[in-house]
């Protein structure tokens, strides 16, 4: 069974996630750690729970979701994995961060990329890739059918959706991704978004003002 631990990080209040199971293997998703205190909080949790980080995944590559990629690589030797369509996004982060006055340690790049579909395994667990572009050009989400959880990045939020005014964003495409790919999941599926509180597919189908 997958356990989910979240950490709120950086000036954008981004949710960084650790997923782990009974084997102790863990996956780090969207590391947004910015300050030394944020870095210490995550590494301390990993150490105290005797976890072994085995994968670094990015749902997409906006600055707030990759600020900790270099730190994770330096700490655990993990290269990030994301969809190749996010390369233009991550390569634009240094200029974007400089313009915002944010210190950015440049992320290493993958040696292999994730596809629009597929399965990622760690420990006794697996995550299914769901392609959901619109907030960014090649955004992906990670779904566990067995545990009925979705690590959703910046696609679907509690009573909201991802912004589409950044380069590569497309509002109609985002709505289509949610309706066709995300809302196909069970109503009981718990959504862990990139910002803000958790929600469920069923709740958002009923109460999300952007989708009704």
Strand 3-9 to 190-193 pairing? unpaired
pTM (predicted TM-score):
0.98
The structure tokens listed for 93 are: 């982060």
State the pLDDT confidence band at 90, using cuts at 50, 70 and 90.
very high
Burial 147-160 (b: 16+ CB within 10 A, else e): bbbbbbbbbbbbeb
Overall average pLDDT of the 114-121 stretch: 98
Cα distances from 80 to residues 1, 72, 90, 148, 204, in angstroms, run: 24, 9, 11, 24, 30
Domain spans of the chain? Answer: 3-207
Pull the structure tokens for residue 158.
């509690």
Mean pLDDT of 161-172: 96
- Mean pLDDT score, 90-100: 94
Q: Is the CB of residue 191 less than 8 Å from the CB of residue 148? A: no
pLDDT at 212: 86
80 contacts 65 by C-beta, under 8 angstroms:
no
Q: What's the CATH fold of domain 3-207? A: Metallo-beta-lactamase; Chain A (3.60.15)
Rounded to a whole number, what is the largest CA-CA distance in the chain? 44
As a whole number of angstroms, the distance between CA 8 and CA 16 comes to 6
Q: Is the pLDDT of residue 121 over 90?
A: yes
Query: 176-211 pLDDT, tens per residue?
Result: 999 999 999 999 999 999 999 999 999 999 999 999
What contacts 144, CB < 8 A, 6 or more positions away?
2, 125, 126, 127, 128, 150
Q: How does strand 80-81 pair with strand 119-122?
A: unpaired
Q: What is the pLDDT of residue 204?
A: 98
């Amino acid at each position: 069974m997958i356990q989910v631990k979240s950490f709120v990080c950086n000036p954008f209040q981004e949710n960084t996630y650790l997923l782990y199971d009974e084997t102790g293997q863990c996956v780090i998703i969207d590391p947004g750690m910015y300050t030394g205190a944020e870095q210490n909080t995550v590494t301390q949790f990993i150490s105290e729970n005797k976890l072994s980080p085995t994968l670094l995944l990015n749902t997409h590559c906006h600055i707030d979701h990759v600020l900790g990629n270099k730190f994770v690589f330096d700490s655990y030797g993990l290269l990030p994995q994301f969809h190749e369509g996010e390369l233009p996004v991550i390569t634009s982060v240094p200029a974007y961060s400089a313009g915002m006055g944010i210190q950015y340690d440049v992320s290493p790049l993958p040696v292999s990329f994730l596809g629009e579909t597929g399965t990622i395994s760690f420990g006794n667990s697996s995550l299914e890739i769901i392609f959901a572009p619109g907030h960014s050009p090649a955004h992906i989400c990670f779904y566990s059918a067995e545990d009925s959880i979705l690590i959703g990045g910046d696609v679907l939020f509690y009573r909201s959706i991802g912004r589409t005014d950044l380069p590569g964003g497309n509002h109609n495409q985002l709505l289509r991704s949610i309706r066709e790919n995300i809302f196909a999941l069970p109503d009981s599926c718990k959504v862990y978004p990139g910002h803000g509180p958790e929600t469920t597919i069923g709740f958002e189908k009923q109460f999300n003002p952007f989708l009704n």
